[in-house]
Amino acid sequence: MSQALIECIPNFSEGRRRELIDDIAGVITRTQGVRVLDLHVDADHNRTVITFVGTPQGVSQAAFAAIRRASELIDLNHHQGEHPRIGATDVVPFVPLSYSSMQECIGLARALGERVGGELGIPVYLYEAAATRPERVNLENLRKGEYEGLKSAIASDPERAPDFGPKRLGPAGATVIGARAPLIAYNVYLTTGEVEIAKRIAAAVRHSSGGFRCVKGLGMLVEGRAQVSMNLTDFRQTPLARVQAAIRREAERFGVGIHHTELVGLIPQQALVDAALWHLQLDPFDTDQILENRLYASAGASADRSFLDALADGTPTPGGGSAAAQSGAMAAALVAMVARLTQGKKKYASVEARMAEIVEQAEALRRSLQSAVEADATAFEQVMSARRMVKATEAEQTARAQALEQATRSATEVPLSVAEQACQVLELASEVAETGNVNAASDAASAGALARACLTAAGLNVQINASGLADRSMAEAWRQVLEELERRAGESEDRLRQAIHDRAGLGG
């Protein structure tokens, strides 16, 4: 079965001494279970961004090794560059990819932060989805005053106290660690050397000063040319092409133009497809018309058959719990599809913002449910392993009973989480059926049916597994949770049926 895949994109405050950069990159490439996808070195920013992917355990270990090596090689007291920074390893974000979830990345960020603070003595701040305080969600708040300002504030200002590690800065500074969605780092170079123009354009497009949502921007001078340096934190809510067009218009006001642009690191393919559609005015368009997508879809069909083959095998795993999670993931994908088919349509302008939120929620649920496909199988394998433990002596019987109780509890918690997420997907399905694109009403109904199947199957797994628990109070608590989920699901199904009746004329 497929393995969880996490992306990690650490930023290091060194972009001029190639031997140091290669040394840091080397400890990542030598870590088992990871592979480096990209290395972006910027001498003007004096900064390097390394993108690598791997298993959760692999990326966490690689990130720790890189932070440790950077702390040995980089002294912030002698660092100068255009980009704001507070640490030798300035920021370490984890991004969920296939068969992983944002919650898993939050757990990785917090565990790594605790380890870095404890073992390396480096102050650590948590940001974005892993943040412990609302004011620490945004990275720019944590970088306030940069390394030099934080050096004095960290010990005297309670608001600047780190989440982990000491309240003092050494030459390696502090590190910001977190979990976030895919981000596009995008720089626009102008046909002028006047940095003030870049600063005014950046202020016009960034969200914090009244510009586009999900856009962060700075104006700076790079290689003698004014640059608008940006991070697009959610390209689906604010497309890259829309920001580019706004920068071009703003530049024209100052009598300048765009010289060229650059990406820092990697970009999701869909962002480029969206940009092409914007400029080509290609409507209607289906991503299935892209040759490579059609090829990958064909390969994906083979992967699906592999899962079905494994499901049909005469082995206990994967079983009903994994099948339930797969059904829930398919339901969430359909909800996201309906919401996207609603976005950008004049007829549905009043729900545009809500549909963007639903896409984000549905995609998060889909990733989490995909992770549960394997998690359920792993949990049940632990139950079987506990059952096989030797029980010849009284001590062995006690150890076996304890192991079996813990494994059974874990094997029950996974489908319970799946059931809770299925209920959320069903609620979203009813909402897109009510207010989404009426031409996709049948897809919303299908999402609801799959979510209902997921909830039913996962609930059965919870009941059966919980029946084997010695802790009956826990089993009873889970039964009550299922009852509440069934109540909510019933309300959502009523809404869904009514919406289909009213909007699609299917009756019933």
DSSP code string of 251-313: HHHTT--EEEEEEES---HHHHHHHHHHHHT--S--GGGSHHHHHHHHHHHHHHHHHHHHHHS
Give CA–CA dist 447/435, Å, rounded: 15
Would you state the pLDDT for residue 285?
A: 80
| 210-230: b (≥16 Cβ within 10 Å) or e | ebbebbbbbbbbbeebbbbbb
Would you state the pLDDT for residue 301?
A: 56
Per-residue pLDDT tens digits for 249-283: 999 999 999 999 999 888 888 899 989 988 998 87
- All structural domains of the chain: 6-179 (3.30.990.10), 184-280 (3.30.70.670), 316-504 (1.20.120.680)
Residues with a catalytic annotation lie at 83, 376
Q: Is 300 exposed, middle or buried (0-12, 13-18, 19+ CB in 10 A)?
A: exposed
Q: Which amino acid is at 312?
A: A
Give CA–CA dist 8/72, Å, rounded: 21
Per-residue tokens: 493: 């199904």
- Residue 21: enclosing H or E segment and its boundaries? helix 18-29
Nearest to 177 by CA among 6, 11, 364: 11
- Residue 127: enclosing H or E segment and its boundaries? strand 124-128
Give CA–CA dist 137/284, Å, rounded: 38
Would you state the pLDDT for residue 304?
A: 52
Would you state the pLDDT for residue 300?
A: 56
Would you state the pLDDT for residue 54?
A: 92
β-partners of residue 220 are 227
Would you state the pLDDT for residue 1?
A: 43
Would you state the pLDDT for residue 44?
A: 82
Per-residue pLDDT tens digits for 371-402: 888 888 877 878 888 888 878 888 888 888 88
184-190: strand order across its sheet: 215-222, 225-232, 184-190, 258-264
Sequence-separated (6 or more) residues with CB below 8 Å from residue 102: 96, 129, 179, 181, 364, 367, 368
Low-confidence ranges of the chain (pLDDT < 70): 1-3, 296-305, 504-508
End-to-end Cα spacing for the chain: 40
Give CA–CA dist 296/2, Å, rounded: 16
Query: How does DSSP classify residue 351?
Result: G
Would you state the pLDDT for residue 508?
A: 36
CB count in 10 Å sphere of residue 121:
13
